[in-house]
Amino acid sequence: MDNKKSNQEIDRRDFFKKAAMSVTAIAGTSLISSNARADDPAIMHHVPWGQVWGDPVTKNRYGVPSKYEHNVLRRNTKLLASGNFRASIAVTPIQESMGIITPNGLFFSRSHGGVAHVDPAEFRLMIHGLVEKPIVLTLEQLKRYPSVTRTHFIECPANGGQEWRGPQFNSVQFAKGFMSCAEWTGVYLKTILEDLGLKPEAQWMLAEGSDNSEMGRTIPIDKVLDDAMIVWGQNGEALRPEQGYPVRILLPGWEGNLCVKWLKRLEFAAEPWYCKEETSKYTALKPTGKAIQHFYANEVNSTVTSPSPEIDWSTLKDGDLIEIEGLAWSGMGTITNVDLSLDGGKSYVETKLKGLVLPKSWTRWSYMHTYTKGDTLLLTSRAMDDAGYIQPTIDQEVGVMGVESVYHRNAVETWEVNAKGEVNHVQIRS
């Protein structure tokens, strides 16, 4: 029996060898190597976790990711850190992101005086200035207002801002990860103002945080009375401290810095405040010497997230059918189209949008590609939104903004796939 069985196995092995050779002959390349048919120990053996008790449900009262996911992390660089990482940023691993929601623990974190830990019992929100009735709210009172829930990205307007003069980061996490997207729950500011009564001369609102930098920004009334929210919920739970627990402002689509965290005070006035972060920073200097201030919305943008410099195509085989996938987003509306170029922007093909397509939200797009080993590609995505904007080329954007703006860079970005399938960040420009 045993002998016969092993003979049969030898016969089968010969069959597969011949089959492999004939396929090789037809395709002109080795699709099935002799190793491919070795039995997989992951199938042939009992796995260690399959023969013992797992954890009881009483473990991890608040769940944590699998220990194997330990490299899916926010990251930072000393280039973007003041001193002790208290006026600094840690960015989201968008190469690992799935769908359009960023898990709360991976949401990018930016602060100007460190992450404050606010005691919700001592939280107060004061709203005053040019209103008929100023008020103070406790957290409990604030959360009694009728809530709304919206999916919006928040983006630091310095996303990509290190690369005006040329590519610097061989990483999608650092080139485009100064942003995240979540489902936010809170109250429209306009709902609170129904009762307070805004005076007609009010043009501006100061939003001020309670953190050690007392981060403040001036917000125009147009946004306050449109879709501005005070939020306390993030993906179905309380805001994380890094996102301003217990309460932050959310201005859908606008600079992350305007969405003031650890919120403490809103004041209405006829004139703007000239806060530190809206003058010394968050202004875009043009070649004319004039700088754009109050540069609110993050413009239409997109990136290829798969492949990426982090997770490339070096393990793909010739002829593999592979999805090129990415994100598109616009703080000025809803994504309508994403086009993909395989030649760095000479020509484009249309991609398909995937999943929910929501205003001022991350939007997924997809394009199926047959990979030819040894090919070099220049992958460039280009998004449009329903306000009619399209991403500019680098030359177009720099032609107006120069290279010293720091903020609001949304020109198309390119990954070069080399002959080995490795992916590098490049720019196509004059």
Partner 1 sequence: MFKLDRKLLTTASAAAALAIITAGCMGGSGSTSTGTTIKDGKATIDGGTTYPVMNNKTGPYYVNAEAISMKINNGRVPTANELAAWDKDVMPDGTGLPEGSGSVEDGEEIYEAQCVSCHGDFGSGGGGYPSLSKGNAVDLQKTLTNNRWKDPEADGPTRVFGSYWPKLSTLWWYIKDGMPHPKSKTLTNDETYALTAYILNINEFEIDGVEVDDEYVLDREKFLKVKMPNEAGFEPNIDGPNALNDVRTFYANPTNFGAIKVKVSERCMTNCQNDTVSVRRIANGGIKDFLPPIDSTRSLPKEEKVAINPVEIYENNCAVCHSGFLSPASAEWAGYTAKGMDKVYASAIHGTEGGMPAKGGTTLSDADFKTVVDYLVTGKTK
Q: Which of 20, 291, 316, 322 binds partner 1 (CB under 8 A)?
A: 291
**Residues in 292-311 at the binding interface with partner 1, rule: CB under 8 A:** 292-297, 299, 310-311
Helix (H) or strand (E) holding 220: strand 216-220
**Residues in 155-184 at the binding interface with partner 1, rule: CB under 8 A:** 162, 165-171, 173-174
Q: Calculate Rg over the CA atoms of the chain.
A: 26
Please say which residue, 318 or 386, places its beta carbon nearer to partner 1.
386
Question: Long-range pairs for 391-399 at CB < 8 Å and ≥24 separation?
Answer: 391/299, 391/300, 391/301, 391/302, 393/345, 393/428, 393/429, 394/427, 394/428, 394/429, 395/429, 395/430, 398/164, 398/429
Q: How far is the CB of 350 from partner 1 (least distance, A)?
A: 7
Total Cβ atoms within 10 A of residue 54: 8
Q: Which of 45, 290, 317, 420 binds partner 1 (CB under 8 A)?
A: 290
Give the span between the Cα atoms of 298 and 152, in whole angstroms: 12
Q: How far is the CB of 21 from partner 1 (least distance, A)?
A: 34
Interaction mask 26-65, partner 1, x per CB under 8 A = ----------------------------------------
Choose one: 21-29, 54-62, 145-153, 232-240; the region binding partner 1 (CB under 8 A). Answer: 145-153
Tokens of 370: 């047959």
Q: How far is the CB of 39 from partner 1 (least distance, A)?
A: 22
Cβ pair 118, 246 in contact under 8 A: yes
Q: Which of 146, 315, 321, 419 binds partner 1 (CB under 8 A)?
A: 146
Q: Which of 5, 59, 61, 78 binds partner 1 (CB under 8 A)?
A: 78
Q: Which of 73, 101, 115, 238 binds partner 1 (CB under 8 A)?
A: 73
Please say which residue, 26 or 52, places its beta carbon nearer to partner 1.
52
Q: Which of 274, 317, 323, 370 binds partner 1 (CB under 8 A)?
A: 274
Tokens of 1: 């029996």
Q: How far is the CB of 261 from partner 1 (least distance, A)?
A: 14
Please say which residue, 254 or 262, places its beta carbon nearer to partner 1.
254
Q: Which of 157, 186, 326, 331 binds partner 1 (CB under 8 A)?
A: 331
Give the span between the Cα atoms of 112 and 103, in whole angstroms: 23
Interaction mask 120-139, partner 1, x per CB under 8 A = ------x-x----xxxxxx-
Choose one: 3-11, 33-41, 51-59, 330-338; the region binding partner 1 (CB under 8 A). Answer: 330-338
Please say which residue, 140 or 237, places its beta carbon nearer to partner 1.
140
Please say which residue, 9 or 69, places its beta carbon nearer to partner 1.
69
Q: How far is the CB of 238 from partner 1 (least distance, A)?
A: 19
CA nearest 234: which of 118, 152, 113?
152
CA nearest 184: which of 116, 238, 130?
238
Cβ pair 323, 340 in contact under 8 A: no
Give the span between the Cα atoms of 401 and 164, in whole angstroms: 10
Instruction: Name the DSSP letter for residue 83.
Output: T
Q: Which of 339, 362, 369, 421 binds partner 1 (CB under 8 A)?
A: 339
Contacts of 254 (CB under 8 A, 6+ apart): 223, 296, 297, 298, 331
The dihedrals phi and psi of 144, each to the nearest 5 degrees, come to -80, -15
Beta bridge partners, 274, equal none
**Residues in 370-429 at the binding interface with partner 1, rule: CB under 8 A:** 378, 384-390, 392-393, 395-405, 408, 414, 416, 424-429
Q: Does 76 bind partner 1 (CB under 8 A)?
A: yes
